Amino acid sequence: MKQQLEQIKATALAALDAAANPVALEELRVKLLGKKGELTAVLKQMGKLSAEERPVMGQLANAVRADIEKKLEERKTALDAAALEAKLASESIDVTIPGEEIVMGHQHPMNMVLQEIKDIFVGMGYQVVDGPEVELASYNFTRLNIEEGHPSRDRSDTFYFNDEDSVLLRTQTSPMQIRAMEISEPPICILAPGRVFRKDEADATHSPMFHQIEGLVVAENITMGDLKGALITLMKRIYGQDLQMRFRPHHFPFTEPSCEMDMQCHKCHGTGEVDGQVCSTCHGEGWIELLGAGMVHPEVLSNCGIDPEKYSGFAFGMGLERMAMGRLRINDLRLIFDNDVRFLNQF
Ligand code: DAH
């Protein structure tokens, strides 16, 4: 039996030395030390030994087992270390390779101008509000004093959603006046920028979708002087302190009196001519129309439950793209919507 144990030990240690990976090592462990292993088989024969021999062989068997276990442990440590080494070598990275350049974008030029305009009005105490693009005809037209049959209600101009023409894509931000007056009491002082939609073919100055900025102030003793003060302040801040402006009488159903505001053409400085040619920016007018405005019509105040005897107000609506084109000297509206990075990178 002693020989048998010596033999087992010798082959076991040799096999362990030869084991090439952790899986092979585990298989060996089961084969050598497991219940069906060789060592166990020898130990099962201990009963046949004499009383003197038994402790001697028992001790020897335990020593063999301990040696095998020790060897197993050593091989496992060595193989694990080798595996880690190989993994690290295969996953090594070269930290000196230059990184990929990250290209930073920036705000769209139209939003830059919108932000400037918002900042100016917020500084004057206006609250910036948002409203639905899908609007009811009663808000977009009726309660703004725009009667049935008015040309702006025509199906050739407006995107309707139903046969009764009662739901539409808003054609102007003016319905936000109604929404503001409906939910709050004077004093009201709001700015409502947003998208509007009209059935226009796209060209250098038209687009079926564009942006407007609506303003509304309602309180006691509001006059046309307040309207002019707010709008002149805005335009001077945007276009410079030397800007020449004018207010012209006009008509809008929801304001009375109504006006349009123009600025002097920055290209021809009001002469209407550049190098003997008709100025292409203002088409010879000398002036560029900026917005529509006026004193809120008493009918519109009443439509929103506000007493026109006690309160008065002014409103204005301007095209954001037109403001941005003037501010940034952009000559074609389509450039604003194309989003060609070669264009956008210029701002
Ligand atoms: N909603 C008008 C339009 O789209 C612009 C406008 C004119 C708005 C006069 C106003 C206003 O608030 O008072 O042409």
DSSP-based three-state secondary structure for 35: coil
What pairs with residue 192 in β-bridges? 214
- For ligand 1, whether the C-beta of 194 sits within 6 Å is no
pLDDT of residue 7: 84
Residues 6+ away with beta carbon under 8 Å from 227: 217, 293, 294, 295, 314, 316
Which atom of ligand 1 is the closest one to the Cα of 174?
A: 1
Q: How many A from CA of 267 to the centre of ligand 1?
A: 26
User: Please, how many CA atoms are within 13 Å of residue 123, restricted to the half-sphere of its CB?
Assistant: 10
Distances (CA, A) of 95 to 58, 100, 297: 59, 13, 70
Q: What is the pLDDT along the chain (347 residues), one digit of tens a residue?
A: 788 888 888 888 888 888 888 888 888 888 888 888 777 877 788 888 888 888 888 888 888 888 888 888 888 888 888 888 888 888 888 889 998 999 888 999 999 999 999 999 999 999 999 999 999 999 999 999 999 999 999 999 999 999 999 999 999 999 999 999 999 999 999 999 999 999 999 888 899 999 999 999 999 999 999 999 999 999 999 999 999 999 999 999 999 999 999 999 988 999 999 999 999 888 999 999 999 999 999 999 999 999 999 999 999 999 999 999 999 999 888 999 999 999 999 99
Name the closest-CA residue to atom 12, ligand 1: 316
Output the six-digit token pair for 310. Answer: 């006690």
Nearest protein Cα to ligand 1, atom 6 = 317
User: What confidence score (pLDDT) does residue 262 get?
Assistant: 96
Q: Is the CB of 174 under 6 A from ligand 1?
A: yes
Report whether residue 292 contacts ligand 1, using a CB cutoff of 6 Å.
yes
pLDDT of residue 242: 95
Distances (CA, A) of 134 to 105, 179, 202, 246, 268: 31, 13, 21, 34, 40
pLDDT at 147: 94
Distance CA 19, CA 80 (A): 12
The answer, yes or no, to whether any atom of ligand 1 lies below 6 A from the CB of 252, is: yes
Could you tell me if the CB of 317 is within 6 A of ligand 1?
yes
- Written as one string, the DSSP assignment of 87-142 is HHHHT---TTSPPPPPPP----HHHHHHHHHHHHHHHTTPEE----SEEEHHHHTG
**Ligand 1, closest atom to CA 314?**
13
Residue nearest to atom 5 of ligand 1 (CA): 317
Is 0.75 topped by the overall pTM? Answer: no
Query: How many A from CA of 180 to the centre of ligand 1?
Result: 15
Is the CB of 312 inside a 6 Å radius of any atom of ligand 1?
no
Query: Is residue 294 within 6 Å of ligand 1 at its C-beta?
Result: yes
Is the C-beta atom of 316 inside 6 A of ligand 1? yes
Token pair, residue 100, equals 């990929």
Q: Is 255 in the pocket of ligand 1 (CB under 6 A)?
A: yes
User: Residue 110 and residue 324: Cα distance in Å, rounded?
Assistant: 6
Instruction: Tell which one of 316, 321, 323 to mutate to probe ligand 1, the residue whose CB is within 8 A of the most ligand atoms.
Output: 316
Question: Scanning the structure block, which residue is given the tokens 């703004």?
Answer: 144
Q: Which residues of 297-335 are buried (b: 16+ CB within 10 A; e: fewer)?
A: bbebbebbebeeeebbbbbbbbbbbbbbbbbeebeebeb
CA distance 64 to 39: 9
The answer, yes or no, to whether any atom of ligand 1 lies below 6 A from the CB of 175, is no
Is the beta carbon of 311 within 6 A of some atom in ligand 1? no
At residue 331, the pLDDT reads: 85
Q: How far does the centroid of ligand 1 lie from the alpha carbon of residue 17, in Å?
A: 92
Cα(28) to centroid of ligand 1, in Å?
89
Among 209, 264, 271, which residue's Cα sits nearest to residue 239? 264
